[in-house]
Amino acid sequence: MSTIISEDIANPPTNRLLKVLDVALPDRNYPITIGTNLLSHLEHFKLHAGQRVLIATNTTIAPLYLQTLTNMLAANGIEVDSVIVPDGEQYKTMATWNTILTQLLANNHTRRSILIALGGGVIGDVAGFAASAYQRGIPFIQVPTTLLAQVDSSVGGKTAINHPLGKNMIGAFYQPQAVVIDLNCLKTLPPRQLSAGLAEVIKYGIILDSTFFDWLESHIDDLLHLDPAAMSYCIYHCCKLKADVVIADETEQNLRAILNLGHTYGHAIETELGYGKWLHGEAVSVGMLMAAYAANLLDKFSLTDIDRIKNLLSRAGLPITRPSQMPAEAYLPHMLRDKKVLSGQLRLVLPTQIGKVEVIDGIDKNIVLESIKSVEMK
Ligand code: NAD
Ligand code: GLY
């Protein structure tokens, strides 16, 4: 189990809402630190004077946060350079991966250099994958700046790039040495991106924790307004739920698959429409509804619970209708390429009640088609 090292939420005047969670994997540990103003403090990065760092970020995040992070590291005796790549899911590619590797080589970074991923899930995934490959692996640190990255993609060591034939199809399991979550970064996040992150937050309630789902029903507006205490609790709780799954099954032999609720449908939307058209969280929102309908068609999940999920997703500003330009039949070829598919059989994560899911093999294609059609088109 992950352990709480500190939690000083009870001490508001001086604290930075600081919480530290230790992810204790079988062969290594790393801390996830959540708080405010962390980009200006070295203490949670597990770095020290004399080290060399490359920061990978993108054209949107660089003007917002690169200088603060660079100055802080330099002031602490760390040698820093950076690589700024284009922004967008459509750039989560081998070309961007190669740009990061080229910068590492061009600036003579060694095996001891540390790569910092400063950005959302796209930067975290592609930079993490570059770290896994450079000189057969150098340490890296995740500094997630979107809600989605703070609650999900920065935790657990999945790194990847997309291929035109499938999302996240090329990558590695590669754990960071630290995850530093600065709540202040959310202040500049566009509302649509905040909502996209809430899709993964709601996912945790559906798959693992009905009490947390209840809490979200009462606090979704606080999260949309970036209430610091609610947001800090929410991010911490999601990281803890995910860390416990990752500790139990780091390389997704079984249990970790539950984190993919709605993702098989969602990845089909992202790939078919073109990466970046629908945000990952938006596609997951509709995908979770489709999974809920599939479970209902198999008599495993009630329409009342589907309504609760639909209502919460909608209040979070997420889509609950599917893209009009994509017929139900167009989902299947993508879904059959999903990493969970074994021997050509569809394998889906389906809810059985709020807070519980099952991974079900060999689901009839007609059920899948019906579940897609159950979600209205926009
Ligand atoms: P993203 O990285 O594209 O970021 C969303 C947008 O917000 C981008 O335009 C980005 O530049 C901008 N941005 C980031 N931080 C900002 C800030 N603080 N202020 C203003 N703008 C900011 O998207 P995302 O939603 O963070 O991540 C989605 C990606 O994560 C997908 O590729 C998905 O496959 C991946 N993912 C990976 C895992 C995993 O376990 N590795 C889990 C879930 C999702
Ligand atoms: N987002 C799915 C996972 O980390 O396994």
Which is nearest to 182 in space by CA: 43, 60, 324? 43
- The response to whether residue 149 sits with its C-beta less than 6 Å from ligand 1 reads yes
Cα separations (Å) of 116 from 144, 178, 323? 10, 10, 36
- Tokens 């899948």 — which residue? 368
- The response to whether residue 158 sits with its C-beta less than 6 Å from ligand 2 reads yes
Residue 15 confidence class, pLDDT cut points 50, 70, 90: low
Average pLDDT of 11-36? 82
pLDDT on residue 338: 75
CA distance 55 to 117: 6
Average pLDDT of 310-338? 95
CA distance 210 to 172: 32
Tell which wins on pLDDT, 327 or 1.
327
Backbone torsion region of residue 318, taken as left when φ is above 0, otherwise alpha when ψ lies between -120 and 50, otherwise beta: beta
Pocket test for ligand 2, best of 203, 239, 259 (most atoms within 8 A of CB): 259
Q: What is the pLDDT of residues 246-289, one digit of tens each?
A: 999 999 999 999 999 999 999 999 999 998 899 999 999 999 99
Report the chain's terminal Cα–Cα distance, integer Å.
42
- The response to whether residue 264 sits with its C-beta less than 6 Å from ligand 1 reads no
